Amino acid sequence: MSAILIRDLRLAFRAGGGFGLGLGFFLILAVLVPLGVGPAPQVLAAIAPGILWVGALLACLLSLDRIFALDHEDGSLDLLATAPVPLEGVVAVKAFAHWLVTGLPLVLAAPVLGVLLNLPAPAYGWLVLSLLLGTPALSVIGAFGAALTVGLKRGGLLMSLLVLPLYVPTLVFGAEVVTRGAAGLSVATPLALLAGITAGSAALLPFAAALALRVNLR
């Protein structure tokens, strides 16, 4: 499993389309929003939690089709499916590699971009915590969507349509954590729901993704 993780990380940095693309998109969005809605501090502070979470979600979405695409193109996916390792474990490792390349940089960059959107000071810690809890769910759900559409021509659009509705609960509760944190309210309920979504996704979706891969590779 460690060899698969190292291989995916190397491919992500060599082939591009993962590490820099998501981070660049996140930065561009944070820069363009103040230009579009105006520099009013009150307006930016009100919309900052939602904008940052939407940006993180879309940045993760950009590189989802690459989770299995390169392996399918060079035949590695067929070998992994017949290897004496559980395909569910392979899916989990690939989702983790996607999070390391895409989700973790977004978590680290979010406080800096929060400054551009005039995010209230009490919300920074909750922003980092919510992204740290929520972005792994985005990667796991995305791996499931990528498994459903692997091998399809122009499957990226179909995958987006399949994955985006599944992202909505994570987006809603993640933004709610930051909004309540900025207002000094209790964040226990949305934080627990966000953690529950991530835990449930990590526990169940690798099995569903592995099943989808087996069906598509027949």
The lowest-confidence range among 84-88, 105-109, 162-166, 170-174 is 84-88
How are the residues of the chain apportioned to helix, strand and coil, as percentages rounded to the nearest 5? 85, 0, 15
- The yes-or-no verdict on residue 15 having pLDDT over 70 is no
pLDDT value of residue 169: 96
| Chain segment 33-81, per-residue pLDDT in tens | 888 888 888 899 999 999 999 999 998 888 887 788 777 777 777 777 7
| Chain segment 154-206, per-residue pLDDT in tens | 667 788 888 999 999 999 999 999 999 999 999 999 999 999 999 999 999 99
Positive or negative, the Cα torsion across 115, 118, 121, 127?
negative
- What whole-number percentage of the chain has pLDDT above 70? 96
**Rounded to two decimals, what is the model's pTM?**
0.90
Q: Taking Cα atoms as reference points, which of 34, 63, 39 lies closest to residue 160? A: 63
The lowest-confidence range among 90-104, 125-139, 149-163 is 149-163
* CA separation, residue 102 to residues 4, 19, 21, 34, 58 (Å): 17, 6, 9, 24, 11
Q: What residues have CB less than 8 Å from 208, skipping those under 6 apart?
A: 144, 147
Q: Place 18 in a pLDDT band, splitting at 50, 70 and 90.
A: low
Measure the CA dihedral 16/20/24/26, to 10°.
110
- The yes-or-no verdict on residue 26 having pLDDT over 60 is yes
Cα–Cα dist 102/118, whole Å: 24
